[in-house]
Amino acid sequence: MFNSSEQFLKGTSAIVTGSTSGIGLAIAKVLAKNGANITLNGFGDKDEIEKERKMLEGEYKIKAIYSPADVSQPEAIQKMVADSRETFGRVDILINNAGIQFVAPIIEFPQEKWNAILNINLTSAFSAIKAVLPLMKEKNWGRIINIASAHGLVASAYKSAYVAAKHGLVGLTKVVALEMAETNITCNVICPGYVKTPLVDKQIAEQAKAHGIGEDQVVKEILLKTQPNKKFIKAEDIGAMAVFLCSSAGEAMTGEIISMDGGWTAQ
């Protein structure tokens, strides 16, 4: 049974990379609502981040810390994991969510953008998983959830680095699941379609201006062209899926690719 009685994660500790914005922040909130202590991570305005951190503590009666780790740096990830362990005494949940995008034809794709996307969207997950697994193995319990994309399963032109990194993240998930299969540590990957985050809001406004059309038209005819339900995925629904995977009902789910894409990859 999916038992997510309020605060069923009380006493646990969760690291959510890239949680100063969008999907990561939404996941952090849902985990906190269910009782997990949180390590926030990502870039942004210091005061805004502190406001979110305090909000999590006040609203959900948990403890939250902030790590400024740049996840393209393995040593910074190791420090984030060590700080989290020192503060909470444990790391039970890891959400690899930090990600960036860059769009260009492959012939023009800058090498440094390729390197940055591979580092931030894929290698960071490897480094974080490597750092948390010994701690999870100590307790013989853990939940690792990678946030890939529909682009972890299918491609779009001009997104070579992003598509390669997200396909890689799907592969990495399967390997970790197999290596941990006889423990109580699971590793799964969520593949969302378009989610309305501040990043996407910006794109909509820019496209509307560039094409001289309304924002609704941009959403239906350009952005959600590949997404049959023509609706954005809600970030908090991705958080709810993460919570489900952390519950006892999720214990047999490992190495799973969970699409939340409004039918995109059904085509």
Residue 32 CB, nearest approach to ligand NAD (Å): 16
User: Judged by CB under 6 A, which stretch of 36-44, 125-133, 204-212, 242-250 contacts ligand NAD?
Assistant: 36-44
**Residue 171 host element (H or E):** helix 160-179
| Whole-angstrom distance, CA of residue 123 vs CA of residue 146 | 12
Neighbours of 114 (CB within 10 A): 18
Residues 216-255, interacting with ligand NAD (CB under 6 A): none
Residues 46-75 that bind ligand NAD (CB under 6 A): 70-72
Near ligand NAD in 87-106, by CB under 6 A: 97-100
3-state helix, strand, coil in the chain (%, to 5): 55, 15, 35
Site string for ligand NAD, 163-192 (x = CB under 6 A): -----------------------------x
Q: How far apart are CA 242 and CA 234, in angstroms?
A: 13
Give catalytic status of residue 158 as yes or no: no
In the set 12, 22, 52, 188, which binds ligand NAD (CB under 6 A)?
Answer: 22
CB 244 within 8 A of CB 2: yes
Alpha-carbon gap, residue 65 to 38, rounded angstroms: 6
Query: Would you please indicate which residues are annotated as catalytic (active-site) residues?
Result: 162
Residues that bind ligand NAD (CB under 6 A): 17-24, 41-44, 70-72, 97-100, 120-121, 147, 149, 192, 194-195, 197-200
